[in-house]
Amino acid sequence: MEDKALVYAGFWTRLAASIIDTVLMLLVALPFADSAYSYFNWANGMQMQASSSIGISWIFPFIATMIFWVYRSATPGKMILKLKIVNATTGEPIGIGRSVIRYIGYYISAFPLCLGFLWIAFSSRKQGWHDLIAGTVVVKAVKPFYKDRHF
């Protein structure tokens, strides 16, 4: 019988995944932001520039994150590091509702000096406040092992 061992992803691994995600998001969003700001500043003034800023800074990251979490159980940074976000109770992928709650939980985790993210380092299941709120864990799959295999 084959078992798959899962381990919780720790603080430093998750931080590395977040840095990768941030760099990738900037590489994708900055060209659009530059074009939008240039166009709207020239064409319509500050009001249109502000609305394009909301779309690029808030709406685009939200939609992109939801798509990755729901369809891949991970953002690109987590995929590179072979991490997955799963339901803490069942181990199943998270759906749209749990994803939205987790995303809102990011702001709660960040607000008090990022203490909700630092909580990952001290939690036994390596959960941040956003994970606790949404009922999720981030795990790393390790190679399968066999009970009757001897080395």
Residue 85 host element (H or E): strand 83-87
Comparing CA positions, the residue from 76, 89, 70, 74 lying closest to residue 140 is 74
Comparing CA positions, the residue from 146, 113, 99, 149 lying closest to residue 2 is 146
Residue 109 burial (CB count, 10 A): 22
At a CB cut-off of 8 Å and minimum separation 6, what does 45 contact?
none
Give the residue ranges of DSSP H helices in 9-147.
11-43, 46-54, 60-72, 76-80, 96-110, 115-122, 129-134
Provide the pLDDT for residue 30: 76
CA 134 to chain centre: 13
Q: What is the pLDDT of residues 50-93, one digit of tens each?
A: 555 666 778 888 999 999 999 999 999 999 999 999 999 999 99
Q: What is the pLDDT of residues 105-118, one digit of tens each?
A: 999 999 999 999 99
